C-alpha cells in the first residue's frame, strides 16, 4: 500500500526534517505516528498527501511515486485519500451537507450518488440531524465529525489524520476515535499523527516513533512511550 525508501527531507533553511526513513505500511493497517515536538512527524504526514516532497528517496502509495508526481496530477491522486486536520478546515459558508457533498461535486458525481453517499457517511458520524447547520453552529467535536465525513465520502483507500483530537476534550476525542476504528474496520488504511498518550495506549495499533527525522521504534500494538 505505502512504501518509503531512503527518504530524506531537507528544507531551504538547512533543517533536515526527515533523515533516511525506510518503512512499509500494508493495506488495512492502523498506524500511529508519535514522537516529541520537532521530531519530523508533521513533515512525514505531509509527504503522505503530497503537501511536501522528499529531497531524495522514494514514496510509493497505491503504485504512485509521490516524489515524481507532477503538480497537475496531485488533485487526482488525492481523490483516493482522506485527510483530517486538527483545525477541521471546513468551508464556513457551506452547511454540513454541502461541506461533505463538495468532495463528490468536484469529481462530478451524479446528484443521486451524492445524496446517497453523503447521507450514509453523515449517519456513520451521527450528524444526519444537523445537515442544514453551518460549521459555526456546531461544537468542535461535531465539526471534526463533519471533517471525517468529508474525508471518507469518496471511499478512500488511505486516510491521513494529523492530530485529529488535538483541539478536543477527552470525551469527544474518544467519540472521534470510535469513528476512526469503524472506518478502519471497513478496510481503510489509517495513518494518524498524535500526541494523545491515552488513546495510543488504550486503542492498540501499530506505533511508529520518529525522533530526529528517523524511525527509532516500529511496534505492532505498541505504546506511546513518551511523557506528555
Domain extent, residue 176, equals 2-80+156-219
The reported pTM is: 0.93
Q: Is residue 116 part of a domain?
A: no
Q: How many domains is the chain built from? A: 1
Q: Is residue 148 part of a domain?
A: no
CB 126 within 8 A of CB 151: no
Q: Is residue 107 part of a domain?
A: no
Q: Is residue 87 part of a domain?
A: no
Angle between the N-to-C axes of helices 170-185 and 140-152, in degrees from 0 to 180, rounded to the nearest 10: 10
Predicted local confidence at residue 65, as pLDDT: 93
Residue that wins the pLDDT comparison between 218 and 80: 218
Q: Is residue 166 part of a domain?
A: yes
Question: Could you tell me the maximum CA-CA distance found in the chain, to the nearest angstrom?
Answer: 51
Percent of the chain with pLDDT over 90: 87
Here the CATH number for the domain that contains residue 17 is 3.40.50.300
Task: Report how many helices (DSSP H) and strands (DSSP E) the chain contains, helices first.
Answer: 7, 10
Q: Is the pLDDT of residue 181 over 90?
A: yes
Q: Is residue 142 part of a domain?
A: no
Q: Model confidence over 183-220: pLDDT tens digits? A: 999 999 999 999 999 999 999 999 999 999 999 999 99
Q: Model confidence over 99-152: pLDDT tens digits? A: 999 999 988 899 999 999 999 999 999 999 999 999 999 999 999 999 999 999
Strands ordered across the beta sheet of 30-34: 81-85, 158-162, 189-193, 30-34, 206-211, 214-219
The CB density around residue 152, as the number of other CB atoms within 10 Å, is 25
Q: Is residue 130 part of a domain?
A: no
Q: Is residue 163 part of a domain?
A: yes
The CB density around residue 94, as the number of other CB atoms within 10 Å, is 15
Amino acid at each position: 500500500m505505502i512504501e518509503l525508501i531512503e527518504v530524506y527531507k531537507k528544507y531551504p533553511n538547512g533543517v533536515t526534517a526527515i533523515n533516511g526513513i525506510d518503512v512499509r505500511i500494508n493495506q488495512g493497517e492502523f498506524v500511529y505516528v508519535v514522537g516529541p515536538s520537532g521530531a519530523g512527524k508533521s513533515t512525514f504526514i505531509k509527504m503522505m498527501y503530497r503537501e511536501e516532497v522528499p529531497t531524495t528517496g522514494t514514496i510509493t502509495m497505491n503504485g504512485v511515486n509521490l516524489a515524481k508526481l507532477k503538480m497537475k496530477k496531485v488533485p487526482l491522486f488525492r481523490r483516493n485519500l482522506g485527510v483530517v486536520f486538527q483545525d477541521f478546515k471546513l468551508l464556513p459558508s457551506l452547511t454540513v451537507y454541502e461541506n461533505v457533498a463538495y468532495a463528490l461535486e468536484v469529481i462530478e458525481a451524479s446528484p443521486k450518488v451524492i445524496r446517497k453517499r453523503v447521507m450514509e457517511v453523515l449517519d456513520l458520524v451521527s450528524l444526519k440531524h444537523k445537515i442544514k447547520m453551518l460549521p459555526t453552529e456546531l461544537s468542535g467535536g461535531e465539526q471534526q465529525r463533519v471533517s471525517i465525513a468529508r474525508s471518507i465520502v469518496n471511499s478512500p483507500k488511505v486516510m491521513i489524520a494529523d492530530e485529529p483530537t488535538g483541539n478536543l476534550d477527552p470525551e469527544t476525542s474518544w467519540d472521534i476515535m470510535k469513528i476512526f476504528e469503524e472506518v478502519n474496520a471497513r478496510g481503510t488504511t489509517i495513518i494518524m499523527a498524535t500526541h494523545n498518550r491515552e488513546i495510543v495506549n488504550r486503542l492498540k495499533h501499530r506505533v511508529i516513533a520518529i525522533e530526529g527525522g528517523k524511525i527509532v521504534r516500529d511496534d505492532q500494538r505498541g505504546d506511546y512511550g513518551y511523557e506528555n
